[in-house]
Amino acid sequence: MNRAPIGVFDSGVGGLSVLAELRQLLPHEDFIYLADTAHIPYGARPGEEIRELTNRAVAELHARGVKAVVVACNTASAFSLEHLRARFEMPIIGLVPALKPAVAATKTGVVGVLATPGTLRGTLLQDVIHTFAGPAGVRVLTAVSAELVPLVEAGQANAERTREVLRETLTPLAEAGADQLVLGCTHYPFLAGSIRAEFGDTFALLDSGAAVARHTRNVLETAGLLNDHHQQGKASYFVTGDVEAARPVFAALSTGQTEPLHLAAAGG
């Protein structure tokens, strides 16, 4: 099993930001990336539906022979990790908002979290706030927009409408003195350029990608599942929605991709 691929799942293209970190830290591993583009966004869906969609996606990755799955979606992680770990006998790695380093780094005592509606509804974010911010006396402010994920999915991460939404969403955090901004969705690292264009160095931007990659490496090493080949790993990509509609966005956001992009329909 150590030469089997690692599965990476997200509701859309956001998890590509996590995949880039995984491929950098684990260059000899093969990856299968699955995006549930037919049902994105997850944020406004009921928790039970999020769990069902996530279960379905992880079951497909399991059927494709993966040795572990990284749930590269904050909303899916917030609602589904316990259920997935009870169902599948393989490592399941989820996302935790990067609040701990934000609390450690803040000079103003105010930290902002840019999240999706689903992540705010789940208990994971509140648990992390209670664990790390409360004891440190750090104030945590949350901001949410239902528009940002669809804009990234449409390849509009740097569009004027995206910057307008970011201005509306993040200005209250800036005015309240937040100096750290936790990107609580895997789509949001692709907005870093637009956030910088609007707010300069007001916020330090923090996401979970690098930490998840390190945790994944540690989990695989402990389980004896690291690939012992020394050749460059490959990645394959699958979507549940329209392949041709997704292709240009995947091509634009697959940072560090050296091999030709292989994108196909899931379930085939």
Q: Is the pLDDT of residue 268 over 60?
A: no
Q: Are residues 163 and 64 in the same domain?
A: no
Check whether the bond before 41 is cis (ω within 30° of 0).
yes
84 is catalytic: no
- Where is the domain boundary, 155, 185, 206? 206
- Residue 18 domain-assigned? yes
Q: Are residues 129 and 87 in the same domain?
A: no
CA distance 260 to 251: 9
Q: Are residues 106 and 175 in the same domain?
A: yes
Tens digits of residue pLDDT in 48-64: 999 999 999 999 999 99
CA distance 152 to 70: 21
- Where is the domain boundary, 162, 188, 206? 206
CA distance 263 to 245: 11
Q: Are residues 81 and 20 in the same domain?
A: yes
Question: What whole-number percentage of the chain has pLDDT above 70?
Answer: 98
CA distance 105 to 97: 15
- Looking at residue 119, its pLDDT comes to 81
Q: Are residues 104 and 200 in the same domain?
A: yes
CATH number of the domain within which 120 lies? 3.40.50.1860
- Residue 167 domain-assigned? yes
Least confident of 49-63, 110-124, 129-143, 160-174: 110-124
CA distance 19 to 39: 20
Indicate which residue of 61, 71, 73, 182 is catalytic.
Answer: 73
Which of 73, 161, 169 is closest to 122 using CA atoms?
Answer: 73
DSSP-assigned beta bridge partners for residue 140: 111
Asked if residue 77 lies in contact with residue 124, where contact means CB atoms within 8 angstroms, the answer is yes
Mean of all residue pLDDT scores within the chain: 93
Q: Give φ, ψ of 127 to 5 degrees.
A: -65, -45
- Looking at residue 199, its pLDDT comes to 98
Binding residues: 10-11, 42-43, 74-75, 186-187
Total domains in the fold of the chain: 2
- Looking at residue 80, its pLDDT comes to 92
Tens digits of residue pLDDT in 229-267: 888 999 999 999 999 999 999 988 886 666 678 888 997
Mean pLDDT on 174-187: 96
State which residues form the domain around 115: 99-206
Q: Is the pLDDT of residue 117 over 90?
A: no
- Residue 115 domain-assigned? yes
Q: Are residues 216 and 166 in the same domain?
A: no
185 is catalytic: yes
Mean pLDDT on 127-132: 92
Mean pLDDT on 142-156: 93
Binding residues for substrate: 10-11, 42-43, 74-75, 186-187
- Residue 1 domain-assigned? no
- Looking at residue 116, its pLDDT comes to 87
Q: Are residues 188 and 256 in the same domain?
A: no
Q: Taking the C-alpha atoms of 38, 43, 48 and 49 in order, what is their torsion angle to the nearest 10 degrees?
A: -10
- Looking at residue 258, its pLDDT comes to 64
- Looking at residue 255, its pLDDT comes to 66
Q: Are residues 107 and 198 in the same domain?
A: yes
- Where is the domain boundary, 179, 206, 233? 206
Indicate which residue of 53, 143, 185, 205 is catalytic.
Answer: 185
Q: Are residues 143 and 176 in the same domain?
A: yes
First to last CA, the chain: 23
pLDDT-derived band at 121, boundaries 50, 70, 90? confident
Least confident of 13-17, 147-151, 244-248, 257-261: 257-261
Q: Are residues 103 and 85 in the same domain?
A: no
- Looking at residue 118, its pLDDT comes to 81
Q: Are residues 213 and 82 in the same domain?
A: yes
- Residue 180 domain-assigned? yes
C-alpha distances out from residue 131 to 49, 74, 94, 125, Å = 28, 18, 18, 10
Tens digits of residue pLDDT in 191-202: 999 999 999 999
- Residue 174 domain-assigned? yes
Which of 253, 262, 259 is closest to 17 using CA atoms?
Answer: 253
